[in-house]
Structure 1
């Protein structure tokens, strides 16, 4: 294994989120699930490299500046224009997405193994770029820990059965998998989330975590452990980036040697801080530490 000080490599899309609410002007936020995870890791003090695609346009510059402001090293293949998503918020701040995106990441090599690899969302299952992503993971698996978040976007997933096969291939390559209850409900309609998590564990991961919105989160492990933590009650501004903040905090906690319950607690707390403000705005290390302390004092 590599040193924990080595950067964590995140692979996947950047997206300019055009947030639209009735009676208000559009707001453009840097987004894309993998990009949000890389940004969240850097905000927590964890070195992160993002392998992605960006266009030579205003949205591309906005996203690059945003990522680099937190310390993310951006390695971006050039594309004609930066992907975008129209994000519509309902009265509870829940987001629905309409995408203008492609994913064509070329074959890429690395000179050394990263501390860990995180993949997810559109970049992990959308061809032709997904082939390059999975080739990298297959090459370095065993020398770097792998995590995966399907972050399902139904409008881009195509036929369900084929989508499930692509997702399960990524699950089988991973040590840690995180999904939302909404992801699992789309992939496996009507199945209990714990049943799906248990089945995923048989494919190869050592840990599967599931976010449950206002009900908190749970995690199951291959050695039979079960952990569940409650959510932090907050006034929701919007839910954009909440799952990505959860993922970043969970990866950061794991890299620091935290136990499963502590990692879940830090992750749900990071998600709560993110939904309390507009856009994918994950907490800093100091903000998260303070919020975790408040949670512990109140319990």
Structure 2
């Protein structure tokens, strides 16, 4: 068993207001980076989230939720209100979002220095806070591996060309990248996701994971791809599925001793057999999450049970 790592997630928290016809609104703690931090902590990892939260009811809900899993929350104290999103679900449980988000993160030093840093989503592209996120990523690379998930939200990405440039900058700073096929379609309309993943690999990551909803997921390594089917599961909703995939991915890499700056050479030599096992963990984590309401990723025992069932 590798020594425990200090994992840092940088990005937004969001109160997801889930809205269904003829039902009262349900509020779930959310936000892609916050979901990843929560998933990592539930899987037993020492996890800190650097974010912004307001002194309001939604902020208290999110803090209590994260604390229940053991996430240490650090803020810059700058948020006047906790970001929120109205989540509308269709008959198949697929989610669409309407956001009320401001992101003004100021530079904050987190000690101890992390062994791995994860970022993405709105926090990495929305000004002015994204500048602090990118500075944290650059500073961390000396001691940490880096992962990134663009988690594209078109309404919040701003100018398309500028958003693509920022996403590609983040990809170039990362060792592990995860995106959905829908993310890639928005970024590169009409381009096959395999082609986009190949081009991202040329920017420096060791591996690019691409999720494809009910069609499973694949991982791109230099010169080859490895795919895994989606687990058969009755879908409650898809909220947080990609974030659970991300936390499952990082958990599997950590269990193999492949996170942390000292492990970077081994991570960049990831074998097809190892990446197939990582994909299995990630897909199982996502399957547990979609089987129940909200962004509710598995703990370690639930993930083991899901892997056994697969």
TM-score (norm 2): 0.92
Q: 1:169-226 deviations in whole A, cap 9, x for unaligned?
A: 100000000000000011101100000000000111110000010111100123x342
Change (3 A) 1:4 1:104: farther
**2:276 aligned with 1:261:** yes
Q: 1:133-165 deviations in whole A, cap 9, x for unaligned?
A: 111111121320000000000000112111101
Q: What is the SS of the residue equivalent to 2:52?
A: strand
User: 1:102 — aligned with what?
Assistant: 102
Structure 1 CA distance, aligned partners of 2:220 and 2:234?
29
User: 1:131 — aligned with what?
Assistant: 131
Task: Spell out structure 1 runs of 4+ moving beyond 3 A.
Answer: none
Q: Give the alignment of 1:235-246 within 5 angstroms.
A: 235-246=234-245
**2:70 aligned with 1:71:** yes
Q: What is the SS of the residue equivalent to 1:67?
A: helix
RMSD value, Cα:
1.1
User: 2:271 — aligned with what?
Assistant: none
TM-score (norm 1): 0.95
User: 1:46 — aligned with what?
Assistant: 45
Q: Give the alignment of 1:144-183 within 5 angstroms.
A: 144-183=144-183
Does structure 1 conserve the Cα–Cα contact (< 8 Å) formed by 2:76 and 2:107?
Answer: no
Structure 2 CA distance, aligned partners of 1:220 and 1:163?
23
Q: What is the SS of the residue equivalent to 2:184?
A: helix
Unaligned runs of 5+ in 1: none
Change (3 A) 1:4 1:179: farther
Which of residues 253, 276, 291 is equivalent to 2:291? Answer: 276
Structure 1 CA distance, aligned partners of 2:3 and 2:144?
10
Does structure 2 conserve the Cα–Cα contact (< 8 Å) formed by 1:4 and 1:255?
Answer: no
User: 1:93 — aligned with what?
Assistant: 93
Structure 1 CA distance, aligned partners of 2:25 and 2:3?
40
1:4 positional shift: 4.6
Unaligned runs of 5+ in 2: 258-273
